[in-house]
Amino acid sequence: MQKQEAWWKGAVIYQLIPRSFADGNADGIGDLQGLANRLGYLRWLGVDAIWLTPLYPSPLEDGGYDITDFKDIHPELGDLASFHRFLTAAHDQGIKVILDLVLNHTSVLHPWFQRARWAKKGSQERDVYVWNDDENRYCDAPVLFRKFESSNWEWDEVAQQYYFHRFLRHQPDLNYENSWVQDQMLEVIDFWIERGVDGFRLDAVPFLFESEGSRCEGLPETHAFLKKVRQRVDSHSRDILLLAEAIQPINEAASYLDDKELHGAFNFVLTAHLFAAVANGECKQLRLCLEKSQQAVSGSRWALPLRNHDELWLGDGHLIPVGIIQTIRDGLHQGHGHWLNWGINRRLAPLLNGDLRANRLLNALLYSLPGMPCIYYGDELGMGDWPGLRDRDPNRTPMAWTSVRNGGFSSAPDPLLVLPPITSPGYDYRVVNVEVQKQLPGSLLNWHRRMLTCRRLLPALRHGDFKLLESSHPSVIVYSRTCETMTVLVAANFSAAGSSLRLDLSKWKGKRTREVLWGCEYPTADKDWFIYLPSYGFSWWLIGEVDDSIR
């Protein structure tokens, strides 16, 4: 019998923050009941999986990435019983569920840390975290949240030692040299798999181990532990996705994708190059990045986000020329940028100055490049953000469902809301919301839904081979996706001006060509095949004889 493809190959992932998505009990905070009530929407939109940012008990110093109990649910979101109800409902709708798994650190309020700081120096209990008598250890490890922290060490009065933290001082790093820590975290994985989850997004994977004289990123010991994670997951004989968050150059991110390690990794470099291509109307660097990504590992292993709950990373000038970073920083052209620690804390639509053509262009690439496209909740509406809020809160505000008060997110009194809904000009929830956009045939939301429907009808986009084609125009990228049954040709124009070009389709000479999104016939494929793409325009063509219902 033929082995079934893993569920996550080419899956469309919808990322959401449970606290900001839908409030089921009118206390102003999104929760699992609210989310369960909205599963019909996600099914209607056509996504395959949802990734939930952490839903564990937490004092929320870092959006829930500071955890006090890995095996429970934050009481504001629900409990294990409501998680079970939500998961069953998601599965009934055919939607997979991916949890965020934070291996690197806990909250300072985690009982393990409280026990550690009171325990004797050098004891087993103390050893669960990384301590030192001074700050002169692991000095080559860069501070990541440099807006909030100036050192990776924090003095603890009770312990009379410093503890190590790669992120906020509220997030002490677990000591992976300690086998007890490893066993505990492997048990956490068992716990959630036994409760039925379909995958994990592994937070901050590069940082698990430390070593003197290194940046403390991606050390061999870290890879060895991740292989144990994989073994543990495989022992459950279910198809579980392990997806790495490593905000690093392509080859480093790909290093987690050894066949015995993780299944997928986000391609943040590609995300940066997509924005860069829009900013300067040129796609040479984007092409090189795609080539490099393919060489590093098969395309299906990459997950591709445009935006997420964090900053937009542009790689400190070594990935993308400084001038282009500046353009993106300045909100592409009009001075709307906001720089936080190492990137921009804004949503997709405002980053693109509300330009719908550029927005559709980037999403059309997302849906046709190889791998797992990741939609960030609200970006399918072109939702706005609140630049004045602290940290990454600008891009974490409540989902806009309807035109009623608070966008239908919650009926609680305004001061109780988790974050203020968007009412800024051009992005007001009374206009930019699900209900309104469902009714407008030309809305961004209906466009996303149509694109996802097309994607489902075109298996070549889900798991076909990827090939870059020659393009005679510097603003236009051209590629094909081919599986056993079909070839889809894609062309995308990163210029704000229209672009015409000649393509050499002699490889498919004499074959019928049809544009899928608009349903129009083109001349048969030939050596000289001419196309015109309007400002930020793109097309998907089916090449050859394929069932006419696909159009």
Binding residues vs Ca ion (CB under 5 A): 23, 25, 27, 29, 31
Listed residue (502, 506, 454) closest to 476, CA to CA? 502
Q: What is the 3-state secondary structure (H, E, C) of 220-266?
A: HHHHHHHHHHHHHHHCCCCCCEEEECCCCCHHHHHHHHCCCCCCEEE
Shortest Å, Cβ 85 to ligand GLC: 27
Spatial distance between the Cα atoms of 68 and 481, rounded to a whole number of angstroms? 45
Phi, psi of 503 (to 5 degrees): -115, 145
Q: Is 135 annotated as catalytic? A: no
Residues between 308 and 337 that touch ligand GLC (CB under 6 A): 309-310
The stretch near ligand GLC (CB under 6 A) out of 20-28, 62-70, 114-122, 332-340 is 62-70
Identify which of residues 167 and 376 has a Cβ nearer to ligand GLC in the complex: 167
The stretch near ligand GLC (CB under 6 A) out of 57-65, 179-187, 409-417, 513-521 is 57-65
Among 42, 73, 102, 516, indicate the residue that binds ligand GLC (CB under 6 A): 102
Residues between 413 and 442 that touch ligand GLC (CB under 6 A): none
Strands 96-102 and 49-52: parallel
Residue 164, number of CB atoms within 10 A of its CB: 23
Shortest Å, Cβ 23 to Ca ion: 4
The stretch near ligand GLC (CB under 6 A) out of 26-34, 59-67, 191-199, 491-499 is 59-67
Convert residues 294-313 into a mask of x (bound to ligand GLC by CB under 6 A) and - (unbound).
---------------xx---
Strands 131-132 and 161-164: antiparallel
380 binds, among ligand GLC, Ca ion, none (CB under 5 to 8 A by kind): none
β-sheet bridge partners, residue 162: 132, 155
* Residue 65 is a binding residue for ligand GLC (CB under 6 A): yes
Shortest Å, Cβ 145 to ligand GLC: 7
Write out the H or E segment, with its range, that includes residue 278.
helix 268-280
SS3 (DSSP) at 516:
coil
282 binds, among Ca ion, ligand GLC, none (CB under 5 to 8 A by kind): none
Q: Is 311 annotated as catalytic? A: no
- Closest residue (Cβ) to ligand GLC? 65
Residues between 147 and 186 that touch ligand GLC (CB under 6 A): 167
By the 8 A CB rule, do 307 and 351 touch? yes
Identify which of residues 23 and 261 has a Cβ nearer to Ca ion in the complex: 23
Q: Which two tokens stand for residue 262?
A: 């993780």
As a whole number of Å, the end-to-end CA separation of the chain is 32
Per-residue b or e along 89-115, where b marks 16 or more CB atoms closer than 10 Å to that residue's CB: bbeeeebbbbbbbbbbbbbbbbebbee
Write out the H or E segment, with its range, that includes residue 184.
helix 179-194
Shortest Å, Cβ 107 to ligand GLC: 10
CA angle 409, 412, 418 (to 5 degrees): 65
Check 48, 203, 310, 380 and give the catalytic one: 203
* Residue 206 is a binding residue for ligand GLC (CB under 6 A): no
Identify which of residues 273 and 309 has a Cβ nearer to ligand GLC in the complex: 309
Max Cα separation, the chain?
79
370 binds, among ligand GLC, Ca ion, none (CB under 5 to 8 A by kind): none
Shortest Å, Cβ 102 to ligand GLC: 6
Which residues are within 8 A (CB) of 152 and not within 5 positions of it... i.e. 6 or more apart? 138, 141, 143, 164, 165, 166
The stretch near ligand GLC (CB under 6 A) out of 60-68, 117-125, 157-165, 503-511 is 60-68
Phi, psi of 405 (to 5 degrees): -50, 135
Listed residue (248, 336, 348) closest to 296, CA to CA? 248
Check 31, 48, 245, 393 and give the catalytic one: 245
* Residue 203 is a binding residue for ligand GLC (CB under 6 A): yes
* Residue 204 is a binding residue for ligand GLC (CB under 6 A): yes
Shortest Å, Cβ 63 to ligand GLC: 6
* Residue 393 is a binding residue for ligand GLC (CB under 6 A): no
Shortest Å, Cβ 329 to Ca ion: 36
203 binds, among Ca ion, ligand GLC, none (CB under 5 to 8 A by kind): ligand GLC
Shortest Å, Cβ 522 to Ca ion: 51
β-sheet bridge partners, residue 174: 129
Interface contacts to ligand GLC, rule CB under 6 A: 62-63, 65, 102, 167, 203-204, 245, 309-310
Catalytic residue list = 203, 245
